[in-house]
Amino acid sequence: MAGDTHHTGIVGVIVGAVVLFAALSTIPFIVLYHHRRRATARRSSELRNLTDGGIMRQVSVDRWLDEQTHASCEDRLYAQESW
């Protein structure tokens, strides 16, 4: 009877140690996954902010070539930063 409780206690300690080791081993992977998701979201929001109302605006090649041949300064607003 005393031997059964001792054997059960050892099994419980071993199972607890395995569960604790598994839990502690998964924490770095969870942190890595979380950081990757945040970095991806931050990158996409930065790109969205730049293309919507930011300083990067798409200009067609034809328009760019036309502006290179004409010396008007008011047509070159796309290349300047808007403050």
* Lowest-confidence segment of 10-19, 35-44, 54-63 by average pLDDT: 54-63
Output the CA–CA distances (angstroms, integers) from residue 65 to 14, 73, 77, 80, in the order listed.
74, 14, 14, 17
pTM for the predicted model, two decimal places: 0.39
Over residues 13-38, the pLDDT tens digits come to: 999 999 999 999 999 999 999 888 88
> In the chain, where are the structural domains located?
2-79
